[in-house]
Amino acid sequence: MTHDAEDPMEAEFDTVAEWTAEVAAGLGPEYLVPAACRGSGKPAALDWLLAGLRARPGDLLADVGAGIGGPAAYAADRAGVRPVLVEPEPDACRAAARLFGAPVIQADATALPFAAGAVSLAWSLGVLCTAPSREAQLAMLFEMRRVVRPGGRIGLLVYLAVTAKLDDPPQGNHFPTSTDLHTLLRRADLDVMAVADSQDMPEPSASWQERTDAVERDLRRRCGHTPSFAAATGQSHRIGRLLDIGQLTNQVILLSRE
């Protein structure tokens, strides 16, 4: 854990993501999935998406913006899917491959490295708001639609702006409103099957939370002095505060590709 990143987005999704993987691996196998799901959806939200996707053993699931691979590993364990991870950050790619052994491809969400109709299912968790513009968000949705077979389904976990102006938003994020998002989904020719507020879903079990807390404590002990850690935690704290004061909401959405 020697290198640092000054850009908050790089710090959050690359440098500190890799450090998180190192800490979890040192604590033990039972810490890997909870640690690698930090910021990507709690188990109840993942279960809701897997049920709506009608995921079956052997289905090929493209995880777009997969981070260090926790949700994909969770899906493989719960539903028997075969995940393939797409992630733009090199350190996160290496960490995901090392932790879980699933196929990992370094690529951008707006140019997915799959043929049309190549995968059964796709999901993207907390990634849409990191696209730099509405057109980039639309390109990401188009790409997911392109690579999913006809009749396949797509899951999203999205952060949505509730108010026109956000107090101290995290850098590099572009949160659509609900109206913005549904306009993008119509333009991408994706049908909304179901929507749920993930904040209303049950919290993780005590054992899950204990493991994520243990990883957080060890990560802070080992890396809390670094600018990268400060930048990454600042990003997540800003999102948490905006959720708490009602300026952001967090939804899971099930889409179909006809």
**Is there a domain that residue 62 lies in?**
yes
What does the block give as tokens for 226?
A: 């670094």
pLDDT band at residue 10 using 50, 70 and 90 as cut-offs: confident
**Is there a domain that residue 2 lies in?**
no
For residue 105, the number of C-alpha atoms closer than 13 Å in the C-beta half-sphere is 14
For the cut 90, the answer to whether the pLDDT of residue 218 exceeds it is yes
pLDDT of residue 5: 47
What does the block give as tokens for 212?
A: 């994520």
**Contact predicate 38/212, CB 8 Å:** yes
**Is there a domain that residue 1 lies in?**
no
CATH number at residue 175: 3.40.50.150
For the cut 70, the answer to whether the pLDDT of residue 176 exceeds it is yes
**Is there a domain that residue 118 lies in?**
yes
Report how far residue 52's alpha carbon sits from residue 38's, in angstroms, rounded to the nearest whole number. Answer: 22
**Is there a domain that residue 79 lies in?**
yes
Residue 72, domain extent: 8-256
pLDDT of residue 6: 59
pLDDT of residue 4: 47
Spatial strand order in the sheet of 119-125:
104-106, 82-87, 60-64, 119-125, 148-161, 248-256, 191-197
The crossing angle, in degrees rounded to 10, of helices 70-79 and 43-53 is: 60
**Is there a domain that residue 135 lies in?**
yes
- In the chain, the number of structural domains is 1
pLDDT band at residue 8 using 50, 70 and 90 as cut-offs: confident
The pLDDT tens digits for 122-153 are 999 999 999 999 999 999 999 999 999 999 99
pLDDT of residue 202: 95
**Is there a domain that residue 14 lies in?**
yes
**Is there a domain that residue 3 lies in?**
no
Bridge partners for 35 per DSSP: none
